[in-house]
Amino acid sequence: AGAPQVIPLHTPDPDYPPVAETLPLAPVTCAVRFLVGEDGAPESVEVRACPEPFRGITSEALSMWRFEPQQFEGAPLRFSTDT
């Protein structure tokens, strides 16, 4: 078996920070690594690259994401992924 298949079930978007509305920004992309627990909820979120006004809200939004729980040989599995 290879890496677990990441299947998102609930992926709310972050709220756009009010301070960012005054900044001349192109579309924003953030690099994030997170650990998904046996229940499909993120256990930790690490924002690796993201403009400052978006770091906190990106982490908050990803903490609310939910994924299909993974199993290996019938046992619940924790896994990390990057996005």
Task: Provide the 8-state DSSP code for 73.
Answer: T
pLDDT at 1: 52
CA distance 65 to 41: 7
pLDDT at 4: 64
Sheet holding 42-49, edge to edge: 42-49, 31-36, 79-82
Which residue stretches of the chain have pLDDT < 50?
A: none
Query: What pTM did the predictor assign?
Result: 0.77
pLDDT at 67: 93
78-81-83 Cα angle (round to 5):
150
Per-residue tokens: 31: 């690099």
53-43-27 Cα angle (round to 5):
30
